[in-house]
Amino acid sequence: MYFALTRTSNLILNQKMKIKQFIFTLLPIIFMMSCNGITEPEGDYPFAIYFLSNDKLIVSDVMDKDLNSLRLESDPWLTSDDIDFYDWSSHCIYLKEDKGNFIPGWDTIQPFKMFPRDWADKPFVVTSNGQREYLGYFFSPAYSLELVPVPMFVDLGYNTACPSNILKFDWSWLYIENTLNNPRVKNALIEDNLLHSGIEVTLDSLNENTIIVLENSDTATISYTLTITNNDEDDLYILDPDITGSEIFHYFSNSIVFYNIEIDKVYKSWWKILYQPPFTGYWSSEWFVKISSMESIQRTITLKGYPHLPPGEYLVQIGFSSPMSISKDELSRVDGRYWFGITFSNYFVWEFNCDN
């Protein structure tokens, strides 16, 4: 009997020791997973934006770190439940409620709407179906310390002037692949029926008449042809350079930017004629043309005011914009909606020589 009791006691003791060893072995793993953010609940939202749990960090502190090493807040700042739809061409998030519901003090700060001062350079992580996709941050021209090549929300410009229900991502880097064009994010939005494709602006790299230098003395005059395709399910109204003329059109869109590869120099239409609207925020519904869903239009536009272009190889790209001051109530029309935001064309190498 004594032997049996002693054996049972030893078995119990051994089991307790094994449990302790297991716990001590497991604790460092749990700690490491927690530090890496792996144990943090990120939900299964098709689309979500999370702030970092350490609100003292700014984007430059984390931009070179592995996304999975960042600790996130347990609750997202914005999710697909808050979204009416996402325009993929402009990366505008059309919210179910006004963005003042998501940005503290947005509706009370005057005269300009701005993010809270402590949001300047504040990083965030975008997820799709719980998977971390890319880093972004809030940029404030007044308070941010630096401009870095990651997606951002800017408090002035489009986010200030644009409709109250639109939160617009900004990508200001020409000739660099746009991080926002993440295929997993796109597929997640499609699966949740939240994606609108918007428009596509194309410069035909195979057509020698896509870009023509009409004059190239002290200043240059450029003629360029672009194709605008409506890939959206909605019929869309877009700013039409044939209606507005070059001066008004280029008040909203900056036209082709030329980057000379050999001498590392950018050429823009610095000296174009500047349109002066009757008042700030002025625009007219008569400037727009409707493009039916899955249809295209082509436009040829002439613009003066470029510096003299030396021969060489150039990267070329154009940004296509809408007026910023369209209001939430004006976005929809009986037979479609105004396309809103800015989108960039494809870019390609254009060879220019003195004989062109």
Per-residue pLDDT reduced to its tens digit, 36-61: 444 454 578 999 999 999 999 999 99
Spans of all domains in the chain? 48-191, 197-352
Q: What is the CATH number of domain 197-352?
A: 2.60.40.2970
pLDDT at residue 8, rounded to an integer: 34
Distance (Å, rounded) from C-alpha 202 to C-alpha 318?
9
- 214 backbone φψ class: left, alpha, beta (φ>0; ψ -120 to 50): alpha
Nearest CA-CA partner of 75 in 101, 100, 42: 42
pTM here? 0.86
- Is residue 132 within 8 A of residue 139, CB to CB? The reply is no
Length reported for the chain: 356
Residues in contact with 348: Cβ distance below 8 Å, sequence separation at least 6, in sequence order:
203, 205, 315, 316
- Is residue 220 within 8 A of residue 228, CB to CB? The reply is no
3-state secondary structure string across the chain: CHHHHHHHHHHHHHHHHHHHHHHHHHHHHHHHHHHCCCCCCCCCCCCEEEEECCCCCCHHHHCCCCHHHCCECCCCCEEHHHEEEEECCCCEEEECCCHHHCCCCCCCCCCCCCCCHHHCCCEEEEEECCEEEEEEEEECCCCCCCCCCCCEEECCCHHHHCCCCEEEEECCCCCCCCCCCCHHHHHHHHHCCCEECCEEEECCCCCCCCEEEEEECCEEEEEEEEEEEECCCCCEEEECHHHHHHHHHHHHCCEEEEEECCCCEEECCCCCCCCCCCCCCCCCHHHEEEECCCCEEEEEEEEEEEECCCCEEEEEEEEEECCCCCCHHHCEECCEEECCCEEECCCEEEEECCCC
Residues of the chain with pLDDT below 50 are 1-39, 41, 356
Q: Tokens standing for 287?
A: 């400037």
pLDDT at residue 352, rounded to an integer: 96
